[in-house]
Structure 1
Amino acid sequence: MTLRRIILGLLICLFICSPCMQAKAQSEKDVYAERLALYKKMETITHVPWFYLAAVDTYERGLRKALRDREEAEGMISIYYAKEDWVGVLNPNKEDQNPHTIQLFEGIGLDGNDDGYARLDDDEDVLYTLARYLESYGYSEDDFRIALWHFYQREQSVNIVYGHAQVYAHFDQLHLHEHAFVMPLHHNYSYRSTWGDRRGWGGRRIHEGTDIFASYGVPIQSASYGIVETIGWNPYGGWRIGIRDLDNIYHYYAHLSGYEKGLEKGSILKAGQVIGYCGSSGYGKPGTQGKFPPHLHYGMYRDNGITEWSFDPYPSLKVWERAAKKARYNS
């Protein structure tokens, strides 16, 4: 009787959850389509490439996830402006939506849809304000980087946003947030949560990642869409590669035996693409091998616009592994 109830419950869950999951996937597609249409509308008005606007908006969306003092955006656009900057520092009306008085008090808020208001909660107004700001610097890549520097006053933020723009321009779409497990499932591998464990080589420190043990030469796959931010030798990580995704997360792959041919700093990748091969490099000068069993050290680091910090990648790895197994089963 108990087994029947369990089976019945699973069947009910399947029938209920499948339409919900399909509806969620369709909803995400709709959001991407609407957001892209908005970017391209502003590109038509201001001639600022849509992928520049998408890159800034994406970076800001990641900041909202990382910063506790920023609420989630109410609309589709996540670009953040402080109220006093929007309406003008000396403006006595901090809720001002009149574009004329905002301009009078040297606020930055603009009316992007000709409805007579410059509102912080209006996606078109916010995006138009950003587009006009970028337009004032010019349209070249150098102009874009200069505008970003004045906007963020931080070189790493400039590099991340510029990288986002390159990824969007390369794939010519927004739906680039899918993930893949970091190894092909048909290879033998094992891992457990090792984030925070003590490490001794090079001084006392904590282990900022998850070790996935596998044989030499097992292909290592990019967990995400993104751009190669660092590549080469590191005394701790050996032959390592760092990839920045569109959630501002830096993915760190270490102890490789080698890289996939053609990869270099600035290479643009898709989720599941082979980037290198499992090895035991590191803990010494360039070329040092074999000081430990072959494995992939995989780490994740989040950027908050000020600094970066590591967080436990184990839960993400389990989610991606389950998704990969499910996809293989369904196929």
Structure 2
Amino acid sequence: MRKKIICFTVWFMMVNCFIAQSTAYSAEPNKNEEYDKLMSLYKKVETITTIPWYVFAAVDQYERNVRHSRRDIPKANGLIEIYIKPEVWSGPINPNINDTDPRTIGLFGGIGQDGNGDQKADPNNDEDVLYTFANYLQKYGTNIDNIRIGLWNYYKRDKAVGLILGHMKLYKKYGTLDLDKHAFPIPRGYNFTYHNTWGDARGWGGRRIHEGTDIFANYGVPVRSTCYGVVEMKGWNRYGGWRVGIRDIDNTYHYFAHLNGFADGLKTGQVVEPGQLIGSVGSSGYGPPGTSGKFPPHLHYGLYKDNGRTEWSFDPYPHLKAWERAERKKK
């Protein structure tokens, strides 16, 4: 009886392992298929409006991240995740908030449009939603300066416009939607150690919590970008010393602090990619510019998420472990 139980257990584990592996292998094709469908939609509306596809991709990605990090916005019913409020879609004085007739929507000042030619302006239809947003932007013009004005008038938030413009840079440069790869910040072959220190108490400069993970390494050890992103911040901070901030395609801010120096030519607004050199490990900070040596050399690495309203810190340790394991497997 005991042998039967053991055999069944082994068989059950093998089946589960096979299912898990099958799921892992099938995830990538599904993801690529989704990217292909999205790109097809962006390109179609680009042809109609002459607004570059990467503008739609950037807005859609920004809103996708916002939707996934908040509970007050309903989940998308399709691939396009641009959220247009019902009263904006149908019109602020429209008695029918669920109106899908383009004629009455226009009559009541709504922006909803028919993008697929079925005579309906359906806020749950991908083509209608994308064409509606494109039509809104087109009223301001099709060059980037005019698009920037249109984005500000729509979101009324400088941060939102800045993030979308950053996403546009990334999509335009790489010409693909597949920009979610990551790298561990310290290259293989160097000695380093780290533990989960997010949330620990800190006292210098007033009581606060530690908003990151400390990776201890020797002075001068290379520090790399962990993502595809845009350098949003570079310079001195009295807490973080010489530091770099990079914004990725998921609206996440990657913060690298206590650096010994920066990579040659690194500047704000620059596009970087996973594994690209951005600086080196140091012990700068806790004082005026140039202060160094108040603690052992290490990289402080933090992650911050923007949800369209505010930004908050979250624990980078699980992500660092996952990226480290992934790089070990590559070898």
Question: Which category of TM-score, normalised to the shorter sequence, fits these structures?
Answer: over 0.9
Secondary structure of the structure 2 residue equivalent to 1:231: strand
Post-superposition shift, 1:29?
Answer: 0.3
1:147 aligns with 2:150: yes
Secondary structure of the structure 1 residue equivalent to 2:109: coil
Secondary structure of the structure 2 residue equivalent to 1:317: helix
Post-superposition shift, 1:3?
Answer: 9.3
1:264 aligns with 2:253: no
Determine which of 94, 98, 102 is the counterpart of 2:97.
94
- Alpha-carbon distance between aligned partners in 1 of 2:292 and 2:9, rounded to the nearest angstrom: 51
Secondary structure of the structure 2 residue equivalent to 1:239: strand
* Match in the other structure for 1:248: 251
1:187 aligns with 2:190: yes
* Match in the other structure for 1:308: 311
- Alpha-carbon distance between aligned partners in 2 of 1:210 and 1:9, rounded to the nearest angstrom: 38
The 1:198/1:184 distance shift into structure 2, 3 A limit, reads same
Post-superposition shift, 1:15?
Answer: 3.2
* Match in the other structure for 1:324: 327
Secondary structure of the structure 1 residue equivalent to 2:32: helix
- Alpha-carbon distance between aligned partners in 2 of 1:289 and 1:4, rounded to the nearest angstrom: 61
1:158 aligns with 2:161: yes
* Match in the other structure for 2:83: 80
Give aligned pairs, total: 328
* Match in the other structure for 1:287: 290
Secondary structure of the structure 1 residue equivalent to 2:112: coil
Post-superposition shift, 1:8?
Answer: 6.0
What amino acid is the match of 1:15?
A: F
Please list the CA deviations of residues 120-156 of structure 1 after superposition, one character each: whole Å capped at 9, or x if unmatched.
1000000001111111111222112111110111111
1:136 aligns with 2:139: yes
Structure 2 residues not aligned, in runs of 5+: none
* Match in the other structure for 1:30: 33
The 1:289/1:162 distance shift into structure 2, 3 A limit, reads same
* Match in the other structure for 1:238: 241
What amino acid is the match of 2:269?
A: G
Farther off after superposition, 196-205 or 110-119: 196-205
Post-superposition shift, 1:162?
Answer: 0.6
What amino acid is the match of 1:314?
A: Y
Post-superposition shift, 1:176?
Answer: 0.3
* Match in the other structure for 1:213: 216
What amino acid is the match of 2:77?
A: E
Post-superposition shift, 1:16?
Answer: 2.9
- Alpha-carbon distance between aligned partners in 1 of 2:95 and 2:74, rounded to the nearest angstrom: 24
The 1:235/1:4 distance shift into structure 2, 3 A limit, reads farther
- Alpha-carbon distance between aligned partners in 2 of 1:68 and 1:323, rounded to the nearest angstrom: 31
Farther off after superposition, 113-122 or 137-146: 137-146
Q: CA RMSD in A?
A: 1.7
Please list the CA deviations of residues 6-34 of structure 1 after superposition, one character each: whole Å capped at 9, or x if unmatched.
87666544433322212111000000111
In the superposition, the TM-score normalised over structure 1's length comes to 0.95
1:55 aligns with 2:58: yes
What amino acid is the match of 1:120?
A: P
* Match in the other structure for 2:69: 66
Structure 1 residues not aligned, in runs of 5+: none
* Match in the other structure for 1:123: 126
The 1:92/1:177 distance shift into structure 2, 3 A limit, reads same
The 1:275/1:4 distance shift into structure 2, 3 A limit, reads farther
- Alpha-carbon distance between aligned partners in 2 of 1:87 and 1:245, rounded to the nearest angstrom: 34
Post-superposition shift, 1:327?
Answer: 2.2
